[in-house]
Structures are given as structure tokens and as C-alpha cells.
A and B are shown apart, each in its own frame.
Chain A
Amino acid sequence: GAGVSQSPSNKVTEKGKDVELRCDPISGHTALYWYRQRLGQGLEFLIYFQGNSAPDKSGLPSDRFSAERTGESVSTLTIQRTQQEDSAVYLCASSSDISSYEQYFGPGTRLTVT
């Protein structure tokens, strides 16, 4: 079956522009996660959605970052007024519920801010 998909796969943007990154989770997965991975580093948790509950935004690095999720489907991560330090791979993962031991990751979106 289809896995987690993300788009675009690559995005180059100018400093100060806004960007939107999209994640399509596995159908039926109620939990959705966003992570950021800077070059050569581990994953940094950003935000988490579970069903209709309020999202856990504790990992968002600044108020320039926001995310939305429509029901239990698509999620978009928005970065406003991008900065060069926002350059990273943004990974999305989904799982069947919060207690599921396995998160399924998408291929990521590589964001480059020039």
C-alpha cells in the first residue's frame, strides 16, 4: 500500500519568503508528526497531531513555524519569513495511534533558503 508521501521533494526559496510543505500520511493513521533534520544531525521534533485533539506544538522553534492538519489526512507545515537557518530536511511520519510503536516516515522535503 501507499506509504507516507511528502511534497515537494526539494524546495529552494529566498530568505524572507513563506513556504508550505505538504504531508500525506498513510490512510487511517490518526497520529502525524513533523521533524526537522539539519545536515549531519539527528531529527528534531517539531509538532504532533493525534485525531481531533489539540496538536502538541512544543517543538516548534519559533512563531514563524505553524502546521495544520485536515481531519486525519493531509498536513501542511508553513514557515513564514524563512531564514537561512531553516534550511534542512523536513520529515513527516504517521502512526496508527499514539501508542503505536512504529512511525512510518516519508522521504522528506529538502528546504534550501538562499
Chain B
Amino acid sequence: DAKTTQPTSMDCAEGRAANLPCNHSTISGNEYVYWYRQIHSQGPQYIIHGLKNNETNEMASLIITEDRKSSTLILPHATLRDTAVYYCIVRGYNNNDMRFGAGTRLTVKP
């Protein structure tokens, strides 16, 4: 079973920030939070990951709460091409099992 809980779907207006929440209340100390996304009919694509500090890259920002029980993926200026299913995953450093849940279906609307 996935160790994360995400909303089933979300909408976002084009050009606005998309904030995707994820609960991972049972995360252990050595587990990272990963985000992937899957655009229709394609394989998943890595977005970002973090342990306890907030992270930012060219695609997104990841905000992890101090207790690490939840996190938020932020797409600062969503575009129509960001419409996809976004998966939040917890995984140990040397864990070979990426347990993808059902994810959040983000629809960016013009």
C-alpha cells in the first residue's frame, strides 16, 4: 500500500500557482519524499525530491512540514502542459520499491 494520501483531483488556472498537497504521516526518519508526474499516455517523469528541507528546481518547489508528516508541491506558474497526474511517494535511500498511489489529477485550465 502507498504510504501517502493525496486528493484525487485539482484544478488550477493557467499562469497561477498550483499547490498539490500530500500527507505522509507514517514517514520514517530515513525516507525521502519524491514527486513524479505522468502526462497522459507517457511514463512517469521525476520532478523533485527532499528529506526535510524545502527544495526548489527548475520545475517546482517542494515544501515539507517541520514534522515531515505532509508536504506540498508547488508549480509556480502552471501551464496547460502541466496537466497530468502527480504522484507523491515516500522511499528510503536504498529502497527499491517506489510505491505509487493513485496520485492527484491536476487539470490546468485556460
* Chain A contact residues, CB within 8 Å of chain B: 4, 31, 33, 35, 41-45, 48, 50, 56, 58-59, 91, 93, 98-99, 101-108
Contact = CB atoms under 8 A, between A and B. Distances in A.
Nearest to A50: B96
A42 B45 contact: no
A104 B97 CA distance: 14
B51 to A, nearest CB: 10
B22 to A, nearest CB: 13
Nearest to B99: A45
B43 A93 contact: yes
Nearest to A3: B43
Interface string B87-104: 100000110111111110
B94 A103 contact: no
B97 A48 contact: yes
Interface of B: 2, 32, 34, 41-46, 49, 87, 93-94, 96-103
Nearest to A102: B46
A111 B100 CA distance: 20
Given A99-B93, A101-B32, A101-B34, A43 B45 contact: no
Contacts of B98: 33, 43, 45, 103
The list of the 9 closest CB pairs from A to B, nearest first, reads: A105-B43, A43-B100, A42-B100, A102-B46, A48-B96, A42-B102, A42-B101, A101-B49, A105-B44
Given A31-B96, A42-B2, A107 B42 contact: yes
16 contacts: A31-B96, A33-B96, A33-B98, A41-B102, A42-B87, A42-B100, A42-B101, A43-B98, A45-B98, A56-B96, A56-B97, A91-B43, A93-B43, A98-B94, A98-B96, A102-B46
Contacts of B32: 101
A105 B38 CA distance: 10
Contact of A59 (B2, B49, B94, B97): B97
A39 B102 CA distance: 11
A59 B97 CA distance: 9
